[in-house]
Amino acid sequence: MIIRKTRPEDLEAVMQIYKDGQIQMRESGNLEQWGDVHPPRALIENDIQIGKSYVCENIGNISNVSDTNGNDGSNLLAVFYFSIEEDPTYQKIDGKWLNNEPYGVVHRIARKRDASAKGSGAFCINWCYEQYSNIRIDTHKDNTPMLVLLERLGFKRCGIIWIANGDERVAFQKL
């Protein structure tokens, strides 16, 4: 597996991965976090344009390629947003961050629903931590698979934050 920036020609495959993520959330009892509409296509297009969208690609399966760029999307396993920036929703927390130093943020992480993508979520988050060793991430209280993954990867639960629409999220940080 490798991580690379998402390209415009990846958009359809990326949107399918997000659709898979919506299904996985519903199947695990997380009915509220993304529903059927999040993340919207325009947001993902913007993430790609500003260079903060990344994909995890299976480079061991190159026989599935069809276009001149060597990617028809079938090798994409996961997608996520990563940036080293201050997230406005992290300014107010019911709890306490581990530090007040600059940090990287991970948002909108999703993986394919099939077995080929198993482990890709952890691979993506670990890659982010390798890029910058102070990471903050949040998730819905009902997103049990993500809550378990973050704790398994050594993230510490720091408290509750509120996203722009007022919904609560469980906030984590790893140093």
DSSP per-residue codes, 129-160:
HHH-S-EEEEE-TT-HHHHHHHHHTT-EEEEE
Query: For residue range 64-117, what is the model confidence (pLDDT) as tens digits?
Result: 443 334 445 578 999 999 999 999 999 999 999 999 999 999 999 998 888 777
Domain CATH code at residue 68: 3.40.630.30
pTM of the model: 0.86
Report CA dihedral (147, 150, 153, 158) to the nearest 10 degrees: -110
Total structural domains within the chain: 1
Query: For residue range 2-39, what is the model confidence (pLDDT) as tens digits?
Result: 999 999 999 999 999 989 878 777 777 766 777 677 78
What is the number of alpha carbons within 13 Å of residue 122 lying toward its C-beta?
Answer: 9
Token pair listed for 22: 């919506």
Q: Which of 174, 122, 172, 118 is nearest to 149 (CA)?
A: 122
Query: CB–CB of 142/149 below 8 Å?
Result: no
Report CA dihedral (134, 138, 142, 148) to the nearest 10 degrees: -10
Tell me how far apart the alpha carbons of residues 160 and 41 are, in angstroms, rounded to a whole number: 27
Q: What are the C-alpha distances in Å from 53 to residues 44, 92, 110, 165? A: 8, 25, 12, 22
pLDDT at 46 over 60: yes
Domain with 140, as residue range(s), is 2-174
46: number of Cβ within 10 Å: 12
Check residue 61 and give its pLDDT.
Answer: 53
Peptide bond into 40 cis (omega under 30): no
